[in-house]
Amino acid sequence: MKNGFTTTILHSDLEAPIEHNSVLKPMHTAVAFGYPDARDLAKVFKGEQPGYAYGRQGNPTTAALESKISKMEDGVATVCFTTGMAAIAGTFVALLRGGDHVVSSSFLFGNTNSLFGTMSQFGCDISYVDATRVENVEKALRPDTKMVFVETIANPRTQVADLARIGELCARRGLIYFVDNTMTSPYLFQPKQVQASLVINSLTKYIGGHGNTLGGAVTDTGLYDWKSYPNIYDNYKNTDPAKWGIVQIRKKGLRDAGATLVAESAHRLAMGAETLALRMDKAAGNALQLARFLAAHPKVTRVYYPGLEDHPQHRLAGELFRNYGALMSIELAEGLDCFDFLNKLKLVISSSHLGDNRTLAIPVAHTIYWEMGPGRRAEMGIADSLIRLSIGIEDTDDLIADFRQALA
Ligand SMILES: *Cc1c(COP(=O)(O)O)cnc(C)c1O
């Protein structure tokens, strides 16, 4: 990326000619693509010529978004899916086989945790470790380990994985390093800089930003040597080895499972991406001021936010990320009911979802982390009273005033 982050996104579509001199990629809703010379159709199917075959495998509008995400992540190729979960599930299904072993951070998005449980029913063995220390990851490795999975800043307690040292470990051992960059977004952090092989982003969150479309993406950073990966099917080995992984993800993960991002969603997400940097700077600025306000408030006992000096990975987060993000969790003083508190907030909305323009709050143990049960919650450090806050782009004073009145 030669230009800055936002300039690059704004001008990405114009790198190729667009119909009618349009300045952004329009919505191409066609499912079928016709070829005057039927031989070209055959070449597209064989991967010998670029082009579109059938809408389930991609369309020009989604391709324009994929190209933008590749630039944001400094990657070589991206495949979009209809949700972030579809991107994670599609990548797992495409690259893993029964009997493979995966080491995962134990601090996980709830549905990722649930998906990994399902994967283990299909014979993938998944070990969970405290990924804030590379030593724990290294101890869990086995001869059949294929992949290490971590989130940058974990949901909801904001633990920051030992990202760079895990990257070195994976590179040394030839393992796929799969990083969920949703919480940081490529504006705050490019996992490629810590040697990630694959990066997943839930586009639903910060990249879309407006809470009006679901989407997900997997980006190949180009750092992993797919020639050494045993699970590539022979019929995908007829292309450049650099593409083996992403081709297999598109064919096995997207085409076969069918969780395709439609053009309308891709268009909205691309509009969101244009203002990602502006929104994240504002939301992170709000989050830091609010975290300081809440940390000093007598009715709040804990504030988990990487931007506060007492956060265990405060220094690491400062070294790795452009800013500290916009997600935090809090615990109220003994005797205060988290539901009563949430009901007193006037601007802040009690809702799941994160990375929205609006500030959202949720009592996680009773909602998104309820299904996993108390044992797994304890491992993840989730108290019954924990409230997760996803800070939006409201005017800072309004936001702080809302918390002040609700705590009064
Ligand atoms: C939301 C989220 C996902 C899943 O994304 P969806 O688009 O909701 O499917 C995955 N990982 C993290 C960290 C998330 O916050």
Written as one string, the DSSP assignment of 375-389 is HHHHHTT--TT-EEE
**Ligand 1 mean position to 212 CA, how many Å?**
14
Q: Is the beta carbon of 202 within 6 A of some atom in ligand 1?
A: yes
**Ligand 1 mean position to 108 CA, how many Å?**
10
Superfamily of 276-407 according to CATH: Aspartate Aminotransferase, domain 1 (3.90.1150.10)
**Ligand 1 mean position to 257 CA, how many Å?**
18
Nearest-atom number in ligand 1 for the CA of 214 is 7
Using CA positions, which residue lies closest to atom 11 of ligand 1? 109
Q: Is the beta carbon of 184 within 6 A of some atom in ligand 1?
A: no
**Ligand 1 mean position to 202 CA, how many Å?**
5
**Ligand 1 mean position to 182 CA, how many Å?**
7
Using CA positions, which residue lies closest to atom 7 of ligand 1? 84
Q: Is the beta carbon of 112 within 6 A of some atom in ligand 1?
A: yes
Q: Is the beta carbon of 83 within 6 A of some atom in ligand 1?
A: yes
- Is the dihedral angle over the CA atoms 157, 161, 162, 163 positive or is it negative? negative
Mean pLDDT by 10 residues, the chain (408 residues): 90 93 95 97 92 94 98 98 98 97 95 94 96 98 98 95 98 98 98 98 98 97 97 92 96 96 98 98 98 97 97 97 98 93 97 96 92 86 92 98 97
**What is the end-to-end Cα distance of the chain in Å, rounded?**
48
Q: Is the beta carbon of 152 within 6 A of some atom in ligand 1?
A: no
Q: Is the beta carbon of 356 within 6 A of some atom in ligand 1?
A: no
Q: Is the beta carbon of 204 within 6 A of some atom in ligand 1?
A: yes
**Ligand 1 mean position to 48 CA, how many Å?**
34
Q: Which of 105, 155, 182, 185 to mutate to test the pocket of ligand 1 (most atoms within 8 A of CB)?
A: 182
Q: What is the CATH number of domain 5-273?
A: 3.40.640.10
Q: Is the beta carbon of 216 within 6 A of some atom in ligand 1?
A: yes
Using CA positions, which residue lies closest to atom 4 of ligand 1? 84
**Ligand 1 mean position to 84 CA, how many Å?**
5
- pLDDT at 382 (0 to 100): 87
191: cis peptide before it, omega within 30°? no
Q: Which residues pair with 201 in a beta bridge?
A: 217
**Ligand 1 mean position to 137 CA, how many Å?**
23
Nearest-atom number in ligand 1 for the CA of 108 is 13
Alpha helices in 145-255 (DSSP H): 163-173, 185-188, 244-248
89's enclosing H/E stretch is helix 84-95
**Ligand 1 mean position to 194 CA, how many Å?**
21
Which residue spans of the chain are classified as CATH 3.90.1150.10? 276-407
Q: Are strands 300-304 and 327-332 parallel, antiparallel or unpaired?
A: antiparallel
How many whole angstroms separate alpha carbon 201 and alpha carbon 185?
Answer: 7
How many whole angstroms separate alpha carbon 127 and alpha carbon 131?
Answer: 11
- pLDDT at 56 (0 to 100): 96
- pLDDT at 246 (0 to 100): 97
Nearest-atom number in ligand 1 for the CA of 182 is 13
- Cβ-proximal residues to 271 (8 Å cutoff; 6+ apart), any chain: none
Q: Is the beta carbon of 109 within 6 A of some atom in ligand 1?
A: yes
Q: Is the beta carbon of 205 within 6 A of some atom in ligand 1?
A: yes
How many whole angstroms separate alpha carbon 214 and alpha carbon 264?
Answer: 11
- pLDDT at 55 (0 to 100): 95
